[in-house]
Amino acid sequence: MNNNTHNKKNNKYENEDDLHDLDSMITSFTDYLRFERRLSTNTIKSYNRDLLVFKKYIYSNENICPLDLNREKILLFLEHLYKENYCESTVSRMLSTLRTFYKFLLIKGDVKKNSFIEIENPKMPKKIIKTMDEDHVKDFLDRIPHSLKLEVRDKAMFELIYSSGMRVSEIINLKLTDIDYEENLIRCIGKGNKERIIPIGKSAIYYLDIYIKSARFKLQNKKNKKSSEFVFLNKNGSGISRQGFWKVLKKYEKIFNLNKRIYPHLFRHSYATHMLERGADLRVVQELLGHSSISTTEIYTNINKKFIKNSYFKHHPRSKKS
């Protein structure tokens, strides 16, 4: 065997070892996210989806070593993403994922440098947040019937999501022990398994009480004689799923013949906007929504330009002629 053949075989084996190392490092990173950072299952799945795209790209390019990436090679990867028609928001998220992944590898000593810190995320177009005004929300909630057991559940569910600003994932994972009826408070486990306490209004607590004492009891799965710990149940007595929540919302959108698309986060956006319009402190709304950064909450201050204009002319001492 000549030296050239021997070297080629060695290079091939080294590349396979690198790919094996990449697999094991992703597994190690996933364990870190789950057990040390204690991130939610959905968040970890999002990280893994991004890493899978990266891994497939590395597998298809033998000349790129995942343990020795430089700026030029990362830019080639980004160019590949755009050729595959990934949008700016997805590319930005993938960059953030890989920046975090390689920071983890750098701390562990698996790589000598995290070149992803040299790459800026693509500039994002300003996100347009849609909301419903107070009258539209009130009209939607008032029109939900509450005679049948599933209707009572729906009434309580939508009263709560607007009253609390909770995410759908938080609503469907809400447990009976998370409700404090005396103090009108909800204990909520949000993104990253962070706990927050949310006050809720009288209307939401009223319909929650009716639902739990009457309709929920009838929905419990008596066949298996196993009662669910979750507040909101489906017709089979199990906790309602995210898809189930969507189906319920779409049902009312159709029944009410609404002229606009309704989706769960619309209630959360409306909750935040209406709170700020009525004078709530931005930091308080940040805490209630469970945002880790105040900049995330600030997007709601730019929604209602008409409200801001009216507030100025109403409250500023020099807004009118004397």
Number of helical H runs and strand E runs in the chain? 14, 3
The closest alpha carbon to 212, from 170, 183, 178, belongs to 178
Q: Provide the angle, in degrees to the nearest 10, between the axes of the packed helices 134-143 and 264-277.
A: 130
**What are 55-82's pLDDT values in tens digits?**
999 999 988 889 889 999 999 999 999 9
- Gap between the Cα atoms of 280 and 153, Å rounded: 29
pLDDT at 4: 42
pLDDT at 259: 79
Q: Decide: 138 and 163 in contact? Cβ < 8 Å.
A: no
- Can you tell me whether residue 122 is helix, strand or coil? coil
Once rounded to an integer, what is the mean pLDDT over residues 233-243?
A: 94
Global confidence as pTM: 0.61
Which domains are delineated in the chain?
Answer: 3-118 (1.10.150.130), 134-307 (1.10.443.10)
Catalytic positions are 167, 191, 265, 268, 291, 300
Once rounded to an integer, what is the mean pLDDT over residues 103-117?
A: 94
pLDDT at 130: 86
Once rounded to an integer, what is the mean pLDDT over residues 143-155?
A: 95
